A and B are shown apart, each in its own frame.
Chain A
Amino acid sequence: MRLLILLLASALTVSAADNFASINQSLIRLTVTGQKPDYRIPWNPGRRRSGSGSGFVIDGRRIMTNAHVVSNGRFIELEKDGDPERYQAQVKFIAHDCDLAILEVNDPAFFEGTTALDFGDIPALHSTVHAFGYPIGGERMSVTRGVVSRIEFRTYSHSGLDTHLCIQVDAAINPGNSGGPVVQDGKVVGVAFQGYSGAVAQNTGYMIPTPVIRRFLTDIEDDSYEGYAELAVEHSNLLNPVHREYLGMSPGMTGVRVTDVMSVSSAAGVLEKDDVLMAIDGYPIGNDGHITLDDEYVQFEEIIERKFHGDTVVFDILRQRAPTTVTVSLQGAWPYLIYRNEYDQQPRYVLFAGLLFQPLSRDFMSAYKVNNPQIKYLYDFYVTDDIFEERPEVVILSSILTDQINTYLGAFTMSVIDEINDRKIKRIADVAAAFAVSADRYVIRTIDDGLPIVIDAVNVEAARERIVRNYRVTSEQYLGPEDLTNEQP
């Protein structure tokens, strides 16, 4: 399913009733040259790729587009309809979790003659919308028309993890439409961003609705993007009447049952296993976990979606048969990030004696097409089995640059590292720290508790020189930006 969702960084549509001229004055074409990091040779700058997408001018001399249009971008060029000039732009804010970005343009002349578009609300089901952009199939601006088919939560495929409100339209939305506005009554009601390949489904395009866009714009008002807060509470439906009776719920009481509260959850110490969440901020929660919000039937998490780090949410709960009210202060939940695609970051790694150590991540799994059952288990159950508590980063000996120092170590490829010289390896930085300590030999233990890897220190320096030269290794480690390595416990 994941593979079938196409990001539409390359098309779009409009209604005649809409103010065609103002949209034409707002619509931007983006051409982006980027470099995709190589997780298998992490010191390389990565493969060049170029793509195009759409964007539009909003207030404050800003341009809105999709995060995936400009991710990993090195050089961004803008074009306006009817203007031969190419303008250079920079990413000012990027939100990979909701696939939105704000760009700035150096040349103030760029905004001459442009019109900033305003945002509308969630369009009604079956109402008509128009999508604008620069999709494949031609050079000029394109307009397509469609109706709103469905409004529900969906995974945003750019991050691969985050689920937000999403609107499905039957307008043709094609590669190149990405980042373009979807308009109703002259106002932007969504940003076109993903669809299905024609081989899977016809006339299904998706747009990011304005609650998500407005949240993004509010989040960046303080000049930084924090992203979404997470409840990080696992819950189960209460459709079963016997289960409601068991929990002491009288007829007419509804809600969902808390099945697990993560140790790093916003609600740790506030919500407990087996609490029944009956209402959120006063909205009654149904036995299937839905609430009615602005006339839409949505999952109760939509309330949390619209909030920010540090905001609070109030739950009416039933605990041990007694009704009570609790307040949760919202934060992020970092362990989930292992499942998010990474962008605009160099892969983190340590190379020592030809052994390449890397932290487990979604990009790691796909780059190596990992089939090792142990690593697959650690990845799949990283959050649910609390693996992150012992190992905030699961460090893997991912590959070996063959040299005489490591000639017997081939069988250790794809081993999970537990200790180096008795130092517990909880993150990739621990690997660098362990090798930085001088010792006669380095004893590397895997979590299998079996055969250790032993490297005699006396041979390391000569091997380092050979390996760096022969394999053209430009840097032997990258541990990430300072703030990132210090954030997690």
Chain B
Amino acid sequence: MNSRKTCLFLAVATTLLATAASARHKTDAIVRVRVTGQDFSFFRPWEKKAPVSREGLGVVLEGNRVLVTGRLAMNATFAELEKIDTGEKMPAYVTHVDYAVNLALLEPALPSFLSDMRPWRLRTTSSIGDKPQAIQFEDNGLSIVTDGEIKRIELATYPLDVLTLLSYRMEISIARNVSSYTLPVAYRNRLIGLVMSYSSEDREAVLVPAPVIKHFLDDYDDGHYDGFPRAGFGFASLQDPQLRRYLGVPAQGDGVFISTIMPGSGADQAGVQEGDVLLAINEFTIDKFGEYTDPDFGHQSIAHLTTTRSHVGDSAMLHIVREGEHQYLLVKLESVPLAHYPIVPYILDKPAEFIIVGGLVIEELSGQYLNEWGSNWATKAPRRLVHYDQHQWDLFEPGERVVILSQVLSSAANIGFSSLNFLRIDSINGMEIRQLPDVAEALKTPIDGFHKISFDEFPSYIVLKADALEAENAQIQARYHLPMLQHIE
């Protein structure tokens, strides 16, 4: 009887020891990351907005570095690491960031800061039903470990709306406001992902999963970061038997409809066309919903095949049907540089470029500019600007920019048109404007003493007197306390 009691006691003690050990292990691999971020104003491009402090938990990786979400590192002006158990702090630098995949790497100012830490390793396979744990810490260093369950593994649009990549969706109840910008999730002591968003209503966390993290790290570690590749086409599912028969494919069967082609992309260069029916990529058959059977993750959208499962420079063989004919097209997978977009999706870590002349504030339209109307800018921003964004590939050449008169700072030079705003400038002094530097160039050659600035809508154009402009500009700069009249990189 006595001995049995002892046995029980021992068992309990063992469990306690195990928990303590695991918590201790985690403080070895995780640091608090505090970042002060300061966004650049795009409506008043000579200003920065109010600084905002963000906090998250970074994962210590091999090579004296810390992995966090890109969101945490955004527009950072100051970053520091803090050890959870000792509270020891160290300034840090963002050494690499890819906002499109929402990941960033930080390094401490002194590499030795992380020397007593135990770098975490990735687990790049996960399955639906796995029960990983999210890790948080109280201010006093006590760990909060919450069990979750992976409910879905599927592609999701990442926060800046540029890439659609693999994500894990996990059911979990996370305590809010504790390290909300980056939260590591582990399974059997390996990192499986970072939480990038959480809905307390649905109790659902969306993770940047380990395969995406691995792709990001491998790409960076090879010495040249290429980013994630893309094939450059969009597709629509092909369920309707009436439609399938019309397209010359069996009423029931595989294949999706190619609905869009990004100009200049690998798909474009390989001759893929809108209206083609795509049956397979490499050895993978594509079903009517646009899914294939992934060796690791089962049914997945083909976008996974050409992004996370591939690298820049790889090729993919597309098996298509066009007007009843089977064809095989070799598509080179490339990353799409931000500058390729007529309307650059995001501009971070650098100020907006602008020119102020005669009180006219002139900028390039970008996703960052549109974002000044808030996250629902698609319904809030001026309809024409939204239209430019949504049809940018039809309306403009790759690399061409939409240069706009953003607003007018009232002054004597602009009486009568000081209320103009959000107008696309198509030419100045007869010279076509395809990017902001063209504005500076065109203003060098007034015609008969006037600068003529033309728009593609009302009021068609306005004029400024050339000889008075310099004095006028100086006056406007003084009156509106502008630190500079232009910024072009």
Q: A and B: real partners?
A: yes
Residues of A within 8 A of B (CB): 234, 236-243, 245-246, 257, 259-260, 273-274, 287, 371, 373-374, 376-377, 380-381, 384-385, 408-409, 441, 443, 449-456
Q: In the complex, are the beta carbons of B458 and A237 less than 8 A apart?
A: no
Which chain A residues lie closer than 8 Å to B413 at the CB level? 242
Shortest distance in angstroms between B322's beta carbon and chain A's nearest beta carbon? 15
Cβ A240 vs Cβ B378 within 8 A? no
Q: Does B465 contact A (CB under 8 A)?
A: yes
- In the docked arrangement, what's the CA distance between A315 and B239, Å? 62
**B24: A residues at CB distance < 8 A:** none
B464 at the interface (CB under 8 A from A): yes
Tell me whether B458 and A408 are in contact (CB under 8 A). no
Contact A243 B460 (CB under 8 A): no
Q: In the complex, A240→B461 CA distance in Å? A: 12
B383-A377 in contact (CB<8A)? yes
Chain A residues with CB below 8 A from B157, complex form: none
Q: Find out whether the CB atom of B246 lies under 8 angstroms from the CB atom of A454.
A: yes
A373 and B386 within 8 A (CB): yes
Q: What distance in Å separates the Cβ of B422 from its nearest Cβ neighbour in chain A?
A: 13
Contact B387 A377 (CB under 8 A): yes
Q: Which residues of A contact B383 (CB under 8 A)?
A: 373, 376-377, 380-381
- State how many angstroms separate the Cβ of A74 from the closest Cβ of chain B: 38
Known contacts A234-B458, A257-B459, A452-B246; 11 additional CB pairs below 8 A are A239-B416, A240-B415, A246-B452, A260-B458, A373-B383, A381-B384, A408-B242, A449-B274, A450-B257, A450-B274, A456-B242
Q: How many residues of B contact A (CB 8 A)?
A: 33
Do B242 and A373 touch across chains, with their CB atoms under 8 A apart? Answer: no
* Cβ-defined contact, A239 with B460, below 8 A: no
Shortest beta-carbon distance from B205 to chain A in Å: 29
Residues of A within 8 A of B259 (CB): 450-451
Across the interface, do B463 and A243 meet the contact criterion of CB distance under 8 Å? Answer: yes
* Residue in A243, A273, A409 whose CB lies within 8 Å of B416: A243
User: Chain A residues near B260 (CB, 8 Å)?
Assistant: 450
Q: Is the CB of A259 within 8 A of B460?
A: yes
- Asked if A454 meets B460 with Cβ closer than 8 Å, knowing A239-B416, A246-B450, A373-B390, the reply is no
In the complex the two chains form, what is the Cα distance from A384 to B384 in whole Å? 11
Residues on A with C-beta less than 8 A from B464 are 242
Chain B residues numbered 415-429 whose CB sits less than 8 Å from any CB in chain A: 415-417
**Assuming the A-B contacts A242-B463, A260-B460, are A237 and B416 also in contact, with contact meaning beta carbons closer than 8 angstroms in the complex?**
yes
Q: How distant is the Cα of A414 from the Cα of B96 in the complex, in angstroms? A: 43
8 interchain residue pairs of minimum CB distance: A239-B416, A408-B240, A240-B416, A236-B459, A450-B259, A454-B246, A259-B460, A454-B243
Q: B414 contacts the other chain (Cβ, under 8 Å)?
A: yes
User: A259 to B460, alpha carbons, bound, how many Å?
Assistant: 6
Shortest CB distance B252–A (Å): 13
Residues of chain B contacted by A384 (CB below 8 angstroms): 457-458
Q: Using Cβ atoms and an 8 Å threshold, which residues of chain B touch A274?
A: 460
B145 within 8 A of A: no
30 pairs, A vs B, C-beta closer than 8 Å: A234-B458, A236-B459, A236-B460, A239-B415, A239-B416, A240-B462, A240-B463, A241-B415, A242-B463, A242-B464, A259-B459, A273-B460, A373-B378, A373-B383, A377-B383, A377-B384, A377-B386, A381-B383, A408-B240, A441-B242, A441-B246, A449-B274, A450-B260, A451-B236, A451-B257, A452-B243, A454-B240, A454-B243, A455-B242, A456-B245
A240 CA / B410 CA spacing, docked (Å): 12
Q: How far is it, in angstroms, between the C-alpha of A454 and the C-alpha of B465 when the chains are bound?
A: 59
Chain A residues with CB under 8 A of B245: 454, 456
List the B side residues contacting A240 at CB < 8 Å: 414-417, 462-463
B19 interface hit (Cβ, 8 Å): no
Interface mask (B210-246 → A, CB under 8 Å = 1, otherwise 0): 0000000000000000000000000010011011011
Contact of A454 among B242, B386, B452, B459 (CB under 8 A): B242
Task: Please measure, in the bound complex, the distance between the C-alpha atom of A450 and the C-alpha atom of B275, giving whole angstroms.
Answer: 7
Chain A: which residue is nearest B460 at the CB level?
A259
Closest to A384 in B: B457
Chain A positions within 8 Å of B384 at CB level: 377, 381
Which of chain A's residues has its CB closest to B447's CB?
A246
Question: Could you tell me the distance in whole angstroms from the C-beta of A352 to the nearest C-beta in chain B?
Answer: 14
A404 to B260, CA, bound (A): 28
Interfacial chain B residues near A257, Cβ < 8 Å: 459
In the docked arrangement, what's the CA distance between A364 and B246, Å? 32
Expressed in whole angstroms, the minimum distance between the Cβ of A133 and any Cβ of chain B is 40
Chain A residues in 8 Å Cβ range of B239: 408
A236 touches B458 (CB 8 A): yes
A371 near B458 (CB under 8 angstroms)?
no
Give the distance in Å from the alpha carbon of A453 to the alpha carbon of B236 in the complex: 12
CA distance A145 to B274 in the complex (A): 69
Question: For A245, what are the chain B residues with a Cβ–Cβ distance below 8 Å?
Answer: 465
Chain A residues, CB < 8 A from B2: none
In angstroms, how far is the closest chain B Cβ from the Cβ of A198? Answer: 30
How far does the Cβ of A44 sit from chain B's closest Cβ, in whole Å? 30
Max chain B Cβ within 10 angstroms of own Cβ: one of A243, A376, A443: A243
Of all chain B residues, which has the CB nearest A273?
Answer: B460
Contact A243:B462 (CB < 8 A) given known A371-B379, A373-B378: yes
Q: Which of B453-477 contact A (CB under 8 A)?
A: 457-460, 462-465
Let me know if B243 and A451 touch, CB within 8 A.
yes
- Which residues of A lie under 8 Å from residue B246 when comparing CB positions? 441, 443, 452, 454
- The interface centre, meaning the residue of A274, A376, A408 with most chain B CB atoms within 10 A of its CB, is A408
0/1 interface trace, chain B 372-384, chain A, CB 8 Å (1 if under):
0000001100011
| Interface pair A409/B274, CB less than 8 Å apart | no
CB distance from B228 to the nearest CB of A (A): 25
Contacts of A259 in B (CB 8 A): 458-460
Q: Provide the bound-state CA to CA distance between A409 and B236, in Å.
A: 12
Contact between chains at A246 and B463 (CB < 8 Å): yes
Give the contacts of B390-428 with A (CB-CB under 8 A). Answer: 390, 413-417
Q: How many angstroms from the CA of A82 to the CA of B444 in the assembled complex?
A: 81
Expressed in whole angstroms, the Cα–Cα distance for A451 and B247 within the complex equals 10
| Interchain nearest-CB distance for B321 vs A (Å) | 15
Specify the chain A residue showing the minimal Cβ separation from B379: A371
CB distance from B306 to the nearest CB of A (A): 20
Interface centre among B257, B260, B379, B383 (most CB of A within 10 A): B383
Tell me the nearest residue of chain A to B378, going by C-beta: A373
Most chain B beta-carbon neighbours within 10 Å: one of A236, A246, A259, A287:
A246
Give complex CA distance A449, B274 in Å. Answer: 8
- Measured between beta carbons, the chain A residues less than 8 angstroms from B460 are 236, 259-260, 273-274
Contacts of B274 in A (CB 8 A): 449-450
Looking across the interface, which residue of chain B has its beta carbon closest to that of A257? B459
For A459, the closest partner residue in chain B by CB is: B242
Query: What is the bound-complex CA distance between A102 and B368, given in angstroms?
Result: 56
Per the bound structure, the CA–CA distance linking A455 and B240 in Å amounts to 10
Smallest beta-carbon distance A381→chain B, Å: 7
Distance from B454 Cβ to chain A, minimum over Cβ atoms (Å): 11
The CA-CA distance from A443 to B417 in the complex, in Å, is: 49
Contacts of B465 in A (CB 8 A): 242, 245
Kindly report which residue of chain A lies nearest to residue B456, judged by CB atoms: A385
A373–B458 CB distance below 8 A: no
Residues of B within 8 A of A409 (CB): 240
Name which residue of chain B comes closest to A245, CB basis: B465
CB distance from A104 to the nearest CB of B (A): 44
Q: In whole angstroms, what is the CA distance A239 to B460 when docked?
A: 16
How long is the Cα–Cα vector from A236 to B450 in the complex, in angstroms?
19
Residue of B nearest to A371 (CB): B379
Q: What residues of A have a CB within 8 angstroms of the CB of B450 in the complex?
A: 242, 246
A259 to B459, CA, bound (A): 6
Least Cβ–Cβ distance between B393 and chain A, in angstroms: 12
Chain A min CB distance to B258 (Å) = 9
Q: For the complex, what is the distance from the CA of A273 to the CA of B274, rounded to whole Å?
A: 39
B247, closest chain A residue (CB): A454
In the complex, which residue of chain B has the Cβ closest to the Cβ of A408?
Answer: B240
Please report which residues of chain B, range 240-279, place their CB below 8 angstroms from some CB of chain A when the two chains form the complex. Answer: 240, 242-243, 245-246, 257, 259-260, 274
Which residues of B sit under 8 angstroms from A377, Cβ to Cβ? 383-384, 386-387
